[in-house]
Structures are given as C-alpha cells and as structure tokens.
Structure 1
Amino acid sequence: MCGRFTLAVKEPDILKEFELSKPIEHYEPRYNIAPGQKVLAVIHDGTRKRAGYMKWGLVPPWAKDPKIGYKMINARSETVHQKSSFSSLLKRKRCLILADSFYEWKASDGKKQPMRIKPSNRKIFAFAGLWDKWTNNEEELSTCTILTQSANEFMENIHHRMPVILEPEFQEQWIAPNSWETAYAHQFLQQRTMEELEAHKVSTYVNSAKNEGEECVAPLT
C-alpha cells in the first residue's frame, strides 16, 4: 500500500519536470502527507496540463458520507478495472500524484521501523492515480486514490505492496485526455517497469500524521 509520502522539492523544479505553464497556487513543501490531506495532482483538461490540490482518499459521486475516502486511499492495479468505484475512472479520470519519496514501515523483531523510499535517479516523480468529484448541497470535493502493485525485489524486504510509480516517458500517456478502454488501462498498468529504488531509516517522529518538517526525512545514523 501507500499510506504516507512527501513532496518537499522547490516549486520551479515541479514546473520544469512536468512542463507546467502556470504557478501552483498555494504550494508548500510537505514532509508527511497523510490520507485525508491535500495532495498535489496533475490532470489534462483537454487543452493543457493543470496542477492543483485534491483530497487524498477517493469519494465516489454516489457516496452519502465523504468519510468513505479514508477507506479508498489506494486501489490495487491488478483488479482496479473490476471494481465499479474505479473502472469508469480508468477511462477518463487518470491523474499524476506528485511526490519525491514515500514511507513504509518495515516489521522487524516485533517493531515497525519507518523507511523513506525514493527512486535512485530521480528527484521528483509521479504515482499513477485516479480522481473524481463529489458534491452535495453545501460542498464540492476533488478527491483521488493512488494505484498500487506487488512489491518489486527491492521492496519485498520492506513491504509486500508498493505504489505504481510511472516512468517519465509514460506520465503524459497516463493523463492523456482521450478515453481509454478499461482493458487497455489494466494492460498499461501491468506493463509498467520498476525502476531502481533506495531507502533509509527515519525517526518514528514520522509515525504521527500531525508531525511535519525536515525531521521526518532525516536519515537515522
């Protein structure tokens, strides 16, 4: 799964990497992004790419209570095309969820050690995501979920699942405004290769979603 991540790079780096033409409104570096909080996502509106904030945890349009989003922070890429809450989103509501690392907790000797994980050769990257809008009489929410897959050889030592990290050359394809058949989207996800990752231990300070700042990512010596 993916339950916590970071995006602390400078805004100009994001604009350059994802070829965005407009500044990101209200951008701020984050070291401990948790479910239910705002995440920076990129979509294509049919004319151009746009970056903006969504709430992490998908809330389907039919939901009576937006709290359901806390149960839908991740979607399994292997079966997402079979789930009614997600399959229609594969056709047209695909997004990039931007990050520069993610956390996972490695079980060892009855304890869980938080690890910070990131690609070895990239300073910023994107998770494959899906998004939707939820409204009632008083509120409108744009929400999203992160797609996950079975762990690669590196991650197996830490956790059995990991987020789908898109290779740079496939990011544009993922958010292209054309409609996809769900079978094609499923095939696309299963064909993604897994780039080299690196990891280091961090303090249990990151365990609380209330904690924020560089202390979250500092390597343990």
Structure 2
Amino acid sequence: MYQLNFEPVFNNLDLLLYGAWLTVRLSLIAMVLGLVVSVLGAMAKTSTMPFLRWLVGVYVEVIRNTPFLIQIFFIFFGLPAVGVSMSPNTAALVALVINVGAYGTEIIRAGIESIPQGQIEAGRALSLSRMQIFRYIVIKPALRSIYPSLTSQFIYLLLTSSVVSAISANDLASMGADLNAKTFASFEIYLVLSVMYFVLSLGFTSLFAVIRRFLFTYPLGR
C-alpha cells in the first residue's frame, strides 16, 4: 500500500508559497487589465460604428472558441516567427488579459444592454455627452447587475493561470512541477497544490465580496 510522505512538500513549502504569490500577482494584474479591456470592448460592442462592433465581435468569437492553451502557445511560440518575442511571464500575462477580456466584454455588454432605455434618454435630455451617460448612468448599474458573473470569470482566470506553466512561466503550478521533478512525490505535491488553489479561490471570493459591499452598499460606493 502507498505510504503518504509529505516531508518533501514541507521541506520545500517556501518554494510553493512563493509560487502562490506569483500566481496571485499574475492573476491580479491580469484581472485589472482584463477589466479595462472588457469595458472598452463592451463600449465598442454597443457603439454605433458597425466596423468597430464587427471587429470586437471577431475578437470575442475567436477567443471564446479556441482553447486557452493554443492561445498561449500562439503568443509564445507563434509570434516570434513574425518578430514578436516575449518572455514566458509576459506572454502568460498577455494571454490571460486577452482571454479574460473577451469573456468580460460579453458579460459587461449584457449588463449595459440591461439598462432601461428611458434612463439613457433622460441623460440625453439633460444634454449629457455619450461618455457622461456611460459614466454616470450606465456603467455603475451595469456592473452591479453583472458583478457575480464577472467575478466568477476572474476566479476562473485564477484557476486557468495554472496553464501558463506549459511555457515555463513562473507560477504555483510551475513551482509544483519543478518540485515534483526533484522529489517524485507526485501524489502529495499535487494534493497540496489542489488545496492551495482552493484556498486562493476562497480568498479571491472573499475579496470580491468585500469590494461588492464597498461599491454597491456603502455610501462611498454610491
């Protein structure tokens, strides 16, 4: 019978904790940049310019209908053929931002289109510009309605980030793979990694819950 031995894991726990920090940092940066891409994409998707709507639509459909692993391989291995080279960490960040931006665009677009047309007409009656209407009338209620879906997508991004280890980017999964190659304690290492990803997911879920209360409940968020 197999005997559990967590000694190799505990002896290298600092390595795994460092990998967890790298994953958190990578995910947070990708979430912030991905949110910016999502908002801009949603604005373009709901604009009155047909070409812009078509261009963003193509971007969204291409990303949503291709595997993330292929996307990151294309960025890291494919783009150097046309003179665009990136480090593994940079390629991982770019791939994550592009991926979450496509999904976030559709989520935010749905929130924007849920805003009653009467509110937008009221803004126009007050001579507000399109940007002012978007800022003061549209984006806050839209984000409130789609916040659970958007943050769920961000949690999925955190878990998906483990794929970047395929191009040797530094993250928790990569550190675990390196440790496994040294110790061959596969069962124990990947069991601990599963627990660590679970804890990170719970941590981000709690963070998003606090942000939601601040933005949409407390007076400062109104």
Who wins on radius of gyration, i.e. which is larger? 2
TM over 0.5: no
Please tell me the TM-score bracket, short chain as reference.
Answer: under 0.3
* Greater helix proportion: 2
TM-score (norm 2): 0.22
Q: Which has the higher contact order (CA 8 A, sep 6+)?
A: 2
